[in-house]
A and B are shown apart, each in its own frame.
Chain A
Amino acid sequence: AQSVTQPDIHITVSEGASLELRCNYSYGATPYLFWYVQSPGQGLQLLLKYFSGDTLVQGIKGFEAEFKRSQSSFNLRKPSVHWSDAAEYFCAVGNTGNQFYFGTGTSLTVIP
Chain B
Amino acid sequence: EPEVTQTPSHQVTQMGQEVILRCVPISNHLYFYWYRQILGQKVEFLVSFYNNEISEKSEIFDDQFSVERPDGSNFTLKIRSTKLEDSAMYFCASSELRGRASEAFFGQGTRLTVV
Contact = CB atoms under 8 A, between A and B. Distances in A.
Contact of B108 (A42, A90, A100, A104): A42
Interface string B76-115: 0000000000000001010100111011111111000000
B48 A97 contact: yes
Interface in B14-57: 31, 33, 35, 37, 40-45, 48, 55-56
A96 B95 CA distance: 13
A71 B33 CA distance: 30
Given A43-B3, A44-B106, A98 B99 contact: yes
Interface residues of B, number: 31
A59 to B, nearest CB: 12
Nearest to A96: B99
A43 B104 contact: no
Nearest to B89: A38
Nearest to B41: A104
Contacts of A92: 43
Interface in A24-64: 32, 36, 41-46, 49, 51
Contacts of A44: 43, 91, 93, 106
Given A43-B4, A43-B91, A44-B91, A98 B104 contact: yes
B102 to A, nearest CB: 7
Interface of B: 3-4, 6, 9, 31, 33, 35, 37, 40-45, 48, 55-56, 91, 93, 95, 98-100, 102-109
16 contacts: A36-B106, A43-B4, A43-B6, A43-B91, A44-B91, A46-B104, A90-B43, A98-B95, A98-B98, A98-B102, A100-B35, A100-B45, A100-B104, A101-B45, A102-B37, A104-B40
